[in-house]
Structure 1
Amino acid sequence: MTLHIATAAYPLDWHDSWDAYEAKVTQWVEAAVAEGAQLLVFPEYGAMELASLGGAEAARDLEAALQVVARYRPEMETLFIDLAFRHRVHILVPSGPVIENHTGADIRTNRATLVGPAGLIGHQDKAVMTRFEREDWQIGAGEGLQVFDTALGRIGITICYDSEFPLLARALCEKGAEILLVPSCTDTVAGYSRVRIGAQARALENQCVTVQSPTVGDVDWCPAVDTNRGAAGVFGPPDTGWPETGVLAEGGLDSPGWVHAQVDLDQVRQSRHDGGVLLFQHWPESADQAETVAIVRETAPQP
């Protein structure tokens, strides 16, 4: 099965009204669909441009911006559900903060939502939080990982920092994930590089496809996402039948727009079954060896 993926290097814009936001998102989706995209991937914290709808003072304040974006989230999800239905595509909605009340306490998570032609498919909350999320925003980890069994194949989501932790991707792939979506938001090239290297390593280890979608550009009106560096990319294992670099498609650094790739999911299955290497199959052997680590101390030389 060949799948056309479009991944966004997405700039965050100021919007004076909901209609302006809807017009922007609609234009982005229509542009990807016009090129034949079936799966559209938007970035981590792409929802933060909704903070502009609260006005300049709210957008400048970390807590107020978070509250505004969380308030508009249901409308945002409804908009993307409508676009997915209208164009018969699957979309990873821009992630953003969610505030839910559990037993009298507000629980904050960073949530990505997957939608398709039939509506809402499900949510994935970020599993491991960065220092900024823990210390400044008090956003916590979600509970559990999801594999989404879709008409396009089995999809997992590792949000930004999550992609740097191999066990998360491994757990998703052991449950059948063939595509890992990696929405990201990083304010330095070093941060972007960590996520990209993580995405490529996860594609190598699990002999699967990974898709990175970053925010890009400066946002001087919202300190929460004021600087954004990155490039969109689609990666596979550098193995038989794949590009030797493992890079299926990649955009320029900090260059906004869609990056497109044609992905053959049958090749994922072939690589896992009979690739030039069999990392996915041989992972348990590495785990067994890792349990036998011993410390060997140097013997001091005799005088």
Structure 2
Amino acid sequence: MKIAAAAYPLDALPDFSAYAAKITRWVEAAASDAAQLLVFPEYGAMELAALGGPAVAQDIEAALHEVARHADAVRALHCTLAARHSLHILGASGPAFTGTARPVNRATFYGPGGVIGHQDKQIMTRFEREEWHIAPGPGLSVFDTPLGRIGILICYDSEFPLLARAMVAAGAEILLVPSCTDSMAGYSRVRVGAMARALEGQCVTVQAPTVGDALWCPAVDHNIGAAAIYGPPDIGWPDTGILAQSALNTPGWTCADVSLDLIGQTRQQGGVLNVTHWSEQEIRLSTPVRTIKTG
């Protein structure tokens, strides 16, 4: 199959029809390149804050509510596009108010038949928990699709190996990593995390970032990243583990062909067998770590 990862710029759009036209152009471009799985970034939905006007977009709390207000229309748009082009699409994540006091950061997964499900971010960054007060979601899911078993690690979640390990243990072959980072260091952390998860899980990871400045919305004002698709650096894969990667901060799709058969072969007959040997860590850690003083 072909996977497409978006390096996605946030625009101050005048109305929902302009947003719908933009998403439609992006989906059509990927579909024309024969992509079957499209991945949009974390907090890409925040561009909808502009629909409330400049004062709303500038207010980080009001922006959350404005974006969430359009959830039904966003869902209908993505369902239409996924059905029209027979695609699977991970929509850009955004705030979802679920009856609790604070919103979660939710990415919705669409297939040709409609909404497949969603994944909420599990671990909040300092900005999300200390200033934005975004709540963590209730747990992890693995989606069993015609394209393979797919899990979602939203940005910071990719930096925590046990989350990915739980998904791999549940059968995940592809891990989608939508991201939104405002510094080179932040982008690098997610990139390293995504690559490490591909190594440990002997799977494919897909990083899709926001890119460029959006100074009209302080919550997502600076965006740095490159879209990429990673695999384990093993037999049959690129030596670097990088299947495809865009130039830094360059909007557009980055695509790569991915073989589920190769993922299975790597887990069974790779040069190393990280998935098989994972449990040996528990054996090695059954003896407490010693502290040895020197000098």
| TM-score w.r.t. length of structure 2 | 0.98
> What is the RMSD computed on CA atoms of the aligned residues?
1.0
The answer for the alignment partner of 1:96 in structure 2 is: 94
Is residue 280 of structure 1 aligned with residue 278 of structure 2?
Answer: no
Distance in 1, Cα, partners of 2:121 & 2:229: 20
Is residue 26 of structure 1 aligned with residue 21 of structure 2?
Answer: no
The answer for the alignment partner of 1:134 in structure 2 is: 129
Unpaired runs of 5+ residues, structure 1, are none
Is residue 121 of structure 1 aligned with residue 116 of structure 2?
Answer: yes
SS at match of 1:31: helix
1:286 CA drift (Å): 1.4
Match of 2:47 among 46, 49, 58: 49
Q: Give 1:7-18 correspondences, 5 Å limit.
A: 7-18=5-16
Structure 1 counterpart of 2:88, which letter? H
The answer for the alignment partner of 1:255 in structure 2 is: 250
SS at match of 1:228: coil
Match of 1:174 among 146, 164, 169: 169
Distance in 2, Cα, partners of 1:90 & 1:241: 26
Match of 2:2 among 4, 7, 15: 4
The answer for the alignment partner of 2:289 in structure 1 is: 294
1:140 CA drift (Å): 1.1
Is residue 154 of structure 1 aligned with residue 152 of structure 2?
Answer: no
Q: Is the 8 A contact 2:102 2:133 kept in 1?
A: no
Distance in 1, Cα, partners of 2:38 & 2:294: 58
Q: Give 1:72-91 correspondences, 5 Å limit.
A: 72-91=70-89
Write out per-residue CA displacement over residues 117-147 of structure 1, whole angstroms, 9 at most, x where no aligned residue: 0111001000000011101111111001000
Match of 1:145 among 108, 121, 140: 140
| TM-score w.r.t. length of structure 1 | 0.96
Match of 1:221 among 216, 223, 232: 216
Aligned pair count reads: 295
1:230 CA drift (Å): 0.1
Structure 1 counterpart of 2:228, which letter? G
1:293 CA drift (Å): 2.7
Distance in 2, Cα, partners of 1:129 & 1:288: 31
Distance in 1, Cα, partners of 2:50 & 2:24: 18
Structure 1 counterpart of 2:269, which letter? D
Report sequence identity in percent: 61
Structure 1 counterpart of 2:76, which letter? T
1:276 CA drift (Å): 0.8
Structure 2 counterpart of 1:22, which letter? A
Distance in 2, Cα, partners of 1:90 & 1:292: 46
Larger Rg: 1
Decide which structure has greater strand share.
1
Write out per-residue CA displacement over residues 207-235 of structure 1, whole angstroms, 9 at most, x where no aligned residue: 00000000000001000000000000000
